[in-house]
A and B are shown apart, each in its own frame.
Chain A
Amino acid sequence: MDYKLLADKSLVEFLCNSDPLAYEEIYTRYWRQVYLAAFKKVGSKEIAEELTQDLFCSIWEKREKSTIDNLGGYLNRAIRYQVIDFIRSQLTKEKYSTHIKTTEEESMYINGEHATIAKELSDAIQAAVAQLPEKSRQIFILSRFEHKSIREIASIVGLSDKAVEYHMTKCLKAMRVYLKDYMPILFLITLL
């Protein structure tokens, strides 16, 4: 049987039955997407490798209870969680980290604070987007919030692919400076 020809759905079924070849095919098919997604966010190959490794190991570990419906979507979500969890763990390593008490009273208070911090983050993002030049802003919104591809954006705004990419690079750099309070130190190294 050639596993390369199997649909994702069948691979997942075989995986549930502990088929190592199905597992290997899933890796071959998706490792690149997962690894690059992590690498793009954390900017370190070593960390991206580690996160990818964690993800694929956990799939094998949980294979018997797996309820994956859409494999590609599942892996995309899973690596996002891995990356965010990694960032969270980095935050604790920074000197800002303070002990969080979790008595009932405290947690009520903290939950209240969350709403504020989430709002603050949202405002910061809005403000960061707002300070972009108009063309850049349009491109940025299409790319990041509407998930359009470079090609699609190019045809919408009437620029070449290269020009769109140039705008994107500029935008990302500006955003990082603007949102530096929300970036772990590791991410900021490239700015210094």
Chain B
Amino acid sequence: MQRDQFYQLLKNYVEGNCTDQEKAIIEQWYELLDQENFQVPDEDEMNATEMRLWSKIQERNQVKEHNRITAPKQPKVVPMFTRLAAAAVVIGIVVFSFFLFRNSDPNEQAITLLTNDDYIKKSNATTADIKISLEDGSEVTLSPQSTLTYPRHFDNAMREVYLDGEAFFLVTKNSKQPFFVYCQNIVTRVVGTSFSVKKEPDGEVEVEVATGIVSVYERGKKFLEKPIDNTSGVVLTANQKVTYYSANKHFITSLVDNPTPFTEGLLADSSKYANYFTFQDAPLSVVLNKLEEVYKIKFIIENENVMNCPFTGNIQEEDLYTKLEFICAATKSSYEIQGTQIIFRGSGCN
């Protein structure tokens, strides 16, 4: 048996240049290749393999797609001189437009650089936020010193945008076409909601949710409806935020700095909300229920006795944390934010 001939035979097979007879022989030989001590790995191992393999596949596909976006129809190697020249031109445009558009509408100060025919890249070189409307009706508020890259036309199956810096997204609902924000190596996936994404200079990424449900996970990881641990991603709801630490690849969830109240659909007559948080000897349970309802935040009560404490006062206008300060002072209790929940501590009232 000649190895090189066998090699050539296999090569022909793979390339589809075999006669039918040769093909049949190779397939017969292939059938004999099974390892005699072959055993299917156990379920746990298979599940782990499934996840690991999927993230590798995603990563490879993304690298490919990314190359398609950033270097389309262009030779990969650009001589240094050309690059410097190009950079000089861009700087020139930035400086020039700054003087040109100084007094005009801030939206026009954003510089639109066309990366190629399919993508639009907008950089906010101004000192104020700018609004960008996407073709699906979604709106992006782009912070200064930030860049958003998005396709001229969204794909049928997904809406994908790329962010460098900080932006607030108000996404129109379309469950058939989920919306993805890629920021560094973090993916934020939504169906229709509003939230902000911010890249910190030290590489951390922060996602804050204003309304709706948002999934955040690492690029290349599999999207899970219910993530299993704090390395596989998180699902956030209103008033929650997550910080991704790139150093240890962990997601830490917490509450946004100033939670927003949700009053829509709460009362038939919205004018009644005006004294929703005015209490007269109300038990703490009533007060906390209203807070949970309006801020969509879960309270954990350490000692049920505290729920009978009476509370009197008008805390309508205060923000959530000031409201809590007042409540704690009146009921001799304290609160602590733990993750996305608030722990309420107190020994109770007589």
Mark A residues whose CB is within 8 Å of B: 1, 14, 17-22, 24, 27-28, 31-32, 35-36, 39-41, 43, 45, 49, 52-53, 56-57, 60-61, 80-81, 83-85, 87-88, 91-92, 94, 96-98, 100, 110, 113-118, 120-122, 124-125, 128, 144-145, 168-170, 172-173, 175-176, 179, 181-183, 187, 190
Known A41-B34, A53-B56, A84-B10; contact A118-B3, beta-carbon cutoff 8 A:
no
Contact with A80, one of B5, B30, B57 (Cβ below 8 angstroms): B30
Within 8 Å CB of B6, what residues of A? 91, 117, 121, 182
Contact between A175 and B32 (Cβ–Cβ < 8 Å)?
yes
A-B contact count (CB 8 A): 158
When each residue 81-122 of chain B gets 1 if its CB lies under 8 Å from chain A and 0 otherwise, what string results?
Answer: 000000000000000000000000000000000000000000
Contact between A122 and B25 (Cβ–Cβ < 8 Å)?
yes
A21 vs B133: C-alpha distance when bound (angstroms) = 26
A119 nearest in chain B by CB position = B25
Contact between A144 and B32 (Cβ–Cβ < 8 Å)?
yes
Within 8 Å CB of A1, what residues of B? 175-176
Mark B residues whose CB is within 8 Å of A: 1-14, 21-22, 25-38, 40-41, 46, 49-50, 52-54, 56-57, 60-61, 64, 155-158, 175-176, 222-223
A133 vs B10: C-alpha distance when bound (angstroms) = 30
Within 8 Å CB of A21, what residues of B? 157
A121 vs B22: C-alpha distance when bound (angstroms) = 10
Chain A: interface secondary structure? helix
A3 vs B158: C-alpha distance when bound (angstroms) = 15
A120 vs B26: C-alpha distance when bound (angstroms) = 11
Contact between B61 and A57 (Cβ–Cβ < 8 Å)?
yes
A18 vs B154: C-alpha distance when bound (angstroms) = 12
Within 8 Å CB of B40, what residues of A? 36
Contacts A/B (CB < 8 Å), 27 sampled: A18-B156, A19-B158, A20-B158, A24-B54, A31-B50, A31-B54, A41-B34, A49-B56, A53-B56, A57-B61, A60-B61, A81-B14, A83-B33, A85-B10, A88-B7, A91-B3, A91-B6, A92-B7, A94-B3, A97-B7, A114-B5, A117-B6, A121-B6, A121-B9, A122-B28, A176-B32, A187-B33
B223 nearest in chain A by CB position = A24
Contact with B157, one of A19, A87, A121, A144 (Cβ below 8 angstroms): A19
